[in-house]
Structure 1
Amino acid sequence: MQFAHIRFMLKLLLLTGLFLSGFVIGITIADQSENQTDTLSLDQNSAPYVPGELIVKYKDGTVAALAAEGSGPVALEALGAEVSTDFSSEGLSNLQALDISGPLSVKEAIDELEQSPYVAYAEPNYIISLSLPETEPAGPDDPRALSALSVPNDPKFGEQWGLANTGQTGGMSGADIHAKEGWDTTTGSDSIVVAVIDTGVDYTHPDLAANIWTNSGEIPNNGIDDDGNGYIDDVHGYDFINNDNDPMDDNGHGTHCAGVIGAVGNNGVGIAGLNWKVKIMPLKFLRADGNGDTAASLNAIAYARRMGADVISCSWGGTAKSQALGDAIASTNILIPCAAGNAGSNNDITPHYPSGFDSPQIISVAASDAKDGIPSFSNYGASTVDVAAPGDWIMSTYPSSLGYPYVKMKGTSMATPHVAGLAALLLSKNPSMTPSALKAKIMETVDKLSAFNGKTVSGGRINVQKALGGGSSSSGVVPLPGMSQSPKDLNGDGKFEDVNGNGRADYSDVVTFFKQMEWISKNEPVTAFDFSGNNRIDFTDVVKLFQSI
């Protein structure tokens, strides 16, 4: 659409002459690492928003209709409205950000726009604030913590209780997500991309650099938008709050989340991410002081969708319900784990966003501690919070420029990337899994725990081993005679082609299946081994298994 037509449209909108009375928006925005504060309303104490900016969504068909009526340039400067960003080009149809200056305040502009027959909604460009998280620097490596482990060989893995809990932090042995057992099935794939929308990521960190996403369509440092996506030299993501191509983390929060998802594993350095191999896409929308805004988050979500992210991890939020943010999330076909919040409150009563949007793409995450309890800071909700994951004093990566290469943090911010990492592991097995299938698999395979009964939808904490089809699970599959491990579903299709449970599908599985057909038919679920689809276990299944291998 021509800029003149946009200006003409806005003049029509602003001159409708209709005014709204009693327009109130309640808002709380805060980080997941501290309790949420600053509850304000737009018509009283001035809710936190970017001065002179707002976001407007036009009704379907409005833009084209008004453009057709346009007759030339219209000076909007006198009215104080200017289009700063047209999100339509990012796949968010009829959504725009406006700069408001001159005679109209943000509230006055919203009042008028909301009464226009052409406007679906208008809202301020809310500020999203990330309070500085509580951190604890990592101590020196303790070789005793690793002595019982052969893999992975990362020296700080012994301090990652959330992945393998032996009681090493004073917790309860086994109160973990069984990552080590899950890695018998897969340790990830560098074809899976996880976007971390946060304070950026230290893409030079020695435990992250090999797993950082690279835009193959961009030639570095040539000052040209080689791939035509609207961003110049976006080689390793983008900074949408400072509007440049350097998403370096100058806060620490985003790098910590990225390490949980995908610090390089078994490389003899630092920690192990849930994925040893993965691609982390750094998308910065929060500054060093932890402040960002809704418009920047919309651009980050749109970029992640456009550039092929498979999972989007969002460790932030608050009680403000930005409809624009909800629309941006709904426009994706990507699983989006979101932090439930750190107010220690019930999200069923006090909604939290973006985790509380009614969107099938979202999986809302509470925190669990090293004793499989729910920490006092973690939000919860029997109908609004889906699962729990480790979030209490989690060891992970941190920008060395901020003083320490590894620190411990706590919050649902730390729980969320555990779920994002599990989703990436599932996709490494079966890249065709839909967001709804991923969400269902993660929720169906939790460890049911009393602490989360009535506190989350699933009633439990995630279990990597079960989700990946290893070990015992709700499938009812058990080890065959003479086998030490249960069969595994390696590709997520519901068939347990790894019959002997050794983590791979090969001809030994065919031999084992042939020898144990009668036992399988009597002791295993038929659906798990009916490779031919004839609803029984017979020689045709052996043939199909042989052909698939």
Structure 2
Amino acid sequence: MKLIKNLALTAFAIVTLASCGTSKMISTSAANVDKIPLKISPIKESDLKRWSHLDLMKDTIPGMSVDKAYAELLKNKKGVKVIVGIVDSGVDIDHEDLKSVIWTNSKEVAGNGIDDDKNGYIDDIHGWNFLGNSGNENLEMTRIVKKGDTSLQFYKEAKADYDKQLEDNQGSKQQVDFIFKANKTVSDYLKKENYTIEEVTAITTTDATLNQSKQVMMSIIGQTGPDFNSELKDYKNQVYDMLNYNLNLEFDGRKVVGDNPEDINDKVYGNNIVYGPNKEDALHGTHVAGIIAQVRNNNLGGDGIANNAIIMAVRAVPNGDEYDKDIALGIRYAVDNGAKVINGSFGKSYSPHKQWVYDAIKYAASKDVLIVHAAGNDGHDIDLPENKNYPNDSDDNKTEFANNFITVGALNTTYGSGLVANFSNFGSFNVDVFSPGMKIYATVPNNKYKYEQGTSMASPNVAGVATLIRSYYPTLTAAQVKQILMDSGTPVTSTVILGEKEEKRPFTNASKSGKMVNAYNALLMAEKMATKK
């Protein structure tokens, strides 16, 4: 399922839910990072739009020191182009801030209806769409329940999870309907759809319904700000999509694709329209692509992490849970067509054909391709067996079967006990590193830009740094890049609050590395490692 921002509403509140020389010094160390004064004042809008590029020591913002890396380490250097596979919901390849960095398959002749490069995909000029004209889908647990195979060891667990989610979302529907009714009441009274909190506060009435609606909308706007209508619409869509598609046992989103999702050898399906049947539905993948590669310093939107990234679009993630088959084939497609980094901002709790994906990850490892994956947005410790998040690189929580797969948790915008975003999964074994994932500004379809948040946004931040390493130090292997990302990160020994249960533990125990990815440190380490080869 797409790891988009997770909106959780009550009737009265909304919470939104992304060394080159002896003179160069490591940007941060455990000895000094824990002494950094907390930044109490809000981040300026100009900084917020690119906070993941900032430096913790200089700006007291837990960014990745990207700007510092460009200014001090990459100035006057020229790297090689690196193809980055975006396995996601699709990418708007026509976006003004992305179209110059979109991969083109030079072995294919556009529009001739022939598989010129004989890779099995006709006219795959900018990537491939494994979902064809499909958009909405069931969750994996819904598909398991729908099949009704009680002999499966995970059927009982899936059924219990399904029943709980169905009940929760039915309650959420009542909630969202209540809020929209309050919104309409206030809107009708003020005779305008977009109104301010001052206008709501000024309402004086003895009408009980209007007064209740006033109180509700004052709280909503107080939490979300002036863009409350957009936030409410996003939340409503999320709830209604869950009931109409994700949890609907009668809905079949796969039929239009025309393949057998249970047969990994049935590979001839989908099409070359990499943003899908509705470009707006490629928002998630377009945002992810932008975090990595939107053009730097062009006065459009935000800045990408990697100036030499080339984006290959692989559409395999619907509005619902992805199929193991699509992910496995999507990874293989990206690998076979030259990607050296693959970003996977998706995940789910059940994976009936996980071995197909495991085999694809191992295939990527054999071809020296790094896979960067989002840890998930449930606020869970995914080391616990009841909190599985697929895909992963270990089936027993003891050993990793591949050295090219790195899992990323999300950081908040402020340094301190709230450093880890409250929605982010964590785990001292199954999460490798953390990076910025709250309020990340990047491209969305039709030449627009937007803040999004989630581990979906943290993952491409790391993929961007990985791309920088592979661009400027191309002799380093995928395994070495993973090692660098983990070993060179900024260490934090202070205690942080984690997840939905607000567990307190040292940041060092929130992931395997106990560190925040840092581009400056990573490039210093890459230089040292490359010169030793």
Shorter chain as denominator, the TM-score bin is: 0.5 to 0.7
1:363 aligns with 2:417: no
Structure 2 counterparts to residues 18-417 of structure 1, below 5 A: 30-33=1-4, 159-164=49-54, 173-184=60-71, 185-186=73-74, 189=79, 191-242=81-132, 243-248=270-275, 249-251=279-281, 252-287=283-318, 289-290=319-320, 292-321=322-351, 322-333=354-365, 334-349=369-384, 350-357=387-394, 358=400, 359-372=402-415, 373-400=419-446, 405-417=448-460
Q: Any conservation in 2 of the 1:224–1:232 contact (CA below 8 Å)? A: yes
Shift of 1:331: 1.5
Among 507, 511, 518, the residue aligned to 1:456: 511
Partner in structure 1 of residue 490 of structure 2: 447
Question: Quick one: structure 1 residues 269 and 491, their matched pair in 2 at CA, closer, same or farther if it must change by over 3 Å?
Answer: farther
Question: Is this contact kept in 2: 1:186–1:425, CA < 8 A?
Answer: no
Q: Which has the higher contact order (CA 8 A, sep 6+)?
A: 2
Query: Secondary structure at the residue paired with 1:493?
Result: helix
Q: CA deviation at 1:268?
A: 2.4
The residue number in structure 2 matching 1:514 is none
Aligned equivalent of 2:520: 465
- CA distance in 2: counterparts of 1:156 and 1:35, whole angstroms: 25
On the 8 A contact 1:339/1:355 being kept in 2, the answer is no
Counterpart residue identity of residue 191, structure 1:
K
Shift of 1:276: 2.1
2:51–2:61: 8 Å Cα contact kept in structure 1?
A: no
Identity, in percent, stands at 33
Q: Which runs of 5+ in 1 are unaligned?
A: 1-29, 38-132, 137-154, 470-474, 476-488, 496-530, 532-549
Distance 1:468 1:265 in 2: 18
Q: Does structure 2 conserve the Cα–Cα contact (< 8 Å) formed by 1:195 and 1:312?
A: yes
Counterpart code for 2:326: A
Q: Distance in 1 between matches of 2:7 and 2:483?
A: 30
1:470-527 CA distances to partner (integer Å, 9 max, x unpaired)? xxxxx7xxxxxxxxxxxxx7585146xxxxxxxxxxxxxxxxxxxxxxxxxxxxxxxx
Distance 2:481 2:111 in 1: 37
- 1:413-447 Cα distance to aligned partner (Å, 9 max, x none): 00000111111100111212112100111111110
Q: Which runs of 5 or more structure 2 residues have no equivalent in the other structure?
A: 9-14, 19-44, 133-269, 395-399, 497-506
Q: Distance in 2 between matches of 1:183 and 1:353?
A: 34
Give CA deviations for 1:6-43 in whole Å, capped at 9, x if unaligned.
xxxxxxxxxxxxxxxxxxxxxxxx43235699xxxxxx
1:264–1:276 Cα contact (<8 Å) kept: yes
1:165 deviation in Å?
A: 5.9
Q: Does the residue aligned with 2:475 lie in a helix, a strand or coil?
A: coil
Letter in 2 for 1:461: M
Give the equivalent residue in structure 2 for 1:94.
none
Aligned CA distance change for structure 1 residues 389 and 356 (closer, same or farther; 3 Å) = same
- 1:194–1:312 Cα contact (<8 Å) kept: yes
Q: Which residue of 2 aligns with 1:20?
A: none
SS of residue paired to 2:406: strand
| Bigger CA radius of gyration | 1
Taking structure 2 as the reference length, what is the TM-score of the superposition? 0.58
Map Cα deviations across residues 69-112 of structure 1 (whole Å, 9 max, x no partner).
Answer: xxxxxxxxxxxxxxxxxxxxxxxxxxxxxxxxxxxxxxxxxxxx
1:412 offset after TM fit, Å? Answer: 0.4
- Shift in CA distance, 211/197, structure 1 to aligned 2, threshold 3 Å: same
Tell me the SS of whatever aligns to 1:468: helix
**How far 1:135 moved relative to its partner?**
7.4
Name which of 465, 478, 495 aligns with 1:422: 465
Question: Following the alignment from structure 1 to structure 2, what is the Cα–Cα distance between the partners of residues 227 and 491?
Answer: 39
> How many aligned positions are there?
329
Contact 1:430 1:491 in 2 (8 A): no
2:473 aligned with 1:436, yes or no?
Answer: no
Structure 2 residue matching 1:281: 3-state secondary structure: strand
**1:318 Cα offset (Å):** 1.7
> After the TM superposition, which segments of 4 or more aligned residues of structure 1 sit over 4 Å from their partners?
34-37, 133-136, 155-158, 187-190, 489-492
The letter of the residue matching 1:375 is A
8 Å contact from structure 2 (residues 61, 413) kept in 1: no
Give the residue type in structure 2 aligned to 1:320: Y
Distance 1:320 1:135 in 2: 23
Q: How does 1:12-23 map to 2 (within 5 A)?
A: none
Q: State how far apart, in whole Å, the 2-side matches of 1:220 and 1:157 are.
A: 41
Q: Does the 8 Å CA contact 2:308/2:468 hold for their aligned counterparts?
A: no
- Give 1 or 2: higher helix fraction: 2
Q: Give distance in 1, aligned partners of 2:120 and 2:467.
A: 27
Match of 1:104 in 2: none
Question: Contact 2:345–2:459 (CA<8 Å) still a contact in 1?
Answer: yes
Q: Distance in 1 between matches of 2:119 and 2:320?
A: 27
Distance 2:304 2:284 in 1: 16
- The residue matched to 2:120 in structure 1 has which SS? coil
Instruction: State whether residues 317 and 346 of structure 2, in contact with CA within 8 Å, keep that contact through their aligned partners in structure 1.
Output: no
Compute the displacement of 1:361 (Å): 1.5
Residues in 2 aligned to 1:438 and 1:36: alpha-carbon distance in whole angstroms: 34
Deviation readout 1:143-175 (Å, 9 max, x if unpaired)? xxxxxxxxxxxx9676211112699xxx97242
**Larger strand proportion of the pair:** 1
Paired residue for 2:175?
none
